[in-house]
Amino acid sequence: MAIVTLLSDFGLRDHFVASMKGVMLGLNPELTFVDISHEIPPQDVFSAAFTLGQTWHLYPPGTVHLAVVDPGVGGARKALAASAGGQFFVAPDNGILSYVFSSAEDSAAYEITAEHYYRKPVSATFQGRDIFAPIAAWISRGIPLPQLGPALPDPVKLQLPAIKRVQDALIQGVVLAVDHFGNLVTNLRPEDVPRAFRIMAGKQEIIRRCATYGEGAAGEFFIVAGSTGYLEIAVKNGSAAERLNMKPGFPIGVILE
């Protein structure tokens, strides 16, 4: 049974996700679906790229990942199919596969132009249903990617946030994501921050590192190495994002001591 994962900003209130699944089941009734998330903030391509980057490599070879966060739907942006690490991807060419491409040396991308694989008629506002979903289903049935269109040697890639060294003892990171619990996932790795440090998050100074979320004192801010491999800013029994009024893209200062 082929696996198709779905990632979108569609939410679950409307018909969008169910419509895409219906189209795919009509072409391959043996599919198994896994919903990565449909709660990506609307039009937030970076958050979608980060989320996909945390999950895709955990799936079996041959999995098809369908990712649709598409603020340019119906416009000039290309549609692409790609392979990496023995898996397949169907998405708009807007950078949503940036973390995939950055972590897989064997990636290859193709522009989707073979219109006879589309669902007809194609809606200008719901190409997730009419282009991306049927393409994902055809890939799950074994259609080779070169049959979908020409090679795309330079797919769109987002500039992934890098750590900046401001001074010898001062580096600047950034918030990559806010998880469901309000923890701030930064782009800092544990090795970037030595045992002695001061982190400035907004106006809050953080000086403690904990091994688990439950280790800190009630209401205390601390950093913890999260499951993503990045350092997170957390507050025990609370939301660091709400307490600090921070969101993805906000800078984090680290004073090394």
Residues 227 and 143 sit within 8 Å (Cβ to Cβ): no
Can you give the pTM of this predicted structure? 0.92
pLDDT of residue 88: 98
**Sorting pLDDT into bands at 50, 70 and 90, what band is 51?**
very high
pLDDT of residue 194: 77
Residue type, 70: D
pLDDT of residue 165: 85
Using CA atoms of 65, 66, 69, 73 in order, give the dihedral in degrees to the nearest 10.
Answer: 140
pLDDT of residue 217: 85
Q: Across the chain, what does the average pLDDT equal?
A: 94
Mean pLDDT of 240-245: 95
Mean pLDDT of 62-76: 95
Report which of 119, 145, 164 is spatially closest to residue 22, judged by C-alpha positions: 119
Q: Which residues pair with 256 in a beta bridge?
A: 197
Superfamily (CATH H level) for 164-256: Bacterial fluorinating enzyme like (2.40.30.90)
Note the CATH number of domain 3-148: 3.40.50.10790
pLDDT of residue 156: 97
Secondary structure of 104-135 in HEC code, one letter for each residue: CCCCEEEECCCHHHCCCCCCCCCHHHHHHHHH
Q: What percent of the chain has pLDDT over 90?
A: 87
What are the structural domain ranges in the chain? Answer: 3-148, 164-256
pLDDT of residue 120: 96
**Sorting pLDDT into bands at 50, 70 and 90, what band is 124?**
very high
Rounded Cα distance between 133 and 23, Å, is: 7
Mean pLDDT of 190-218: 88
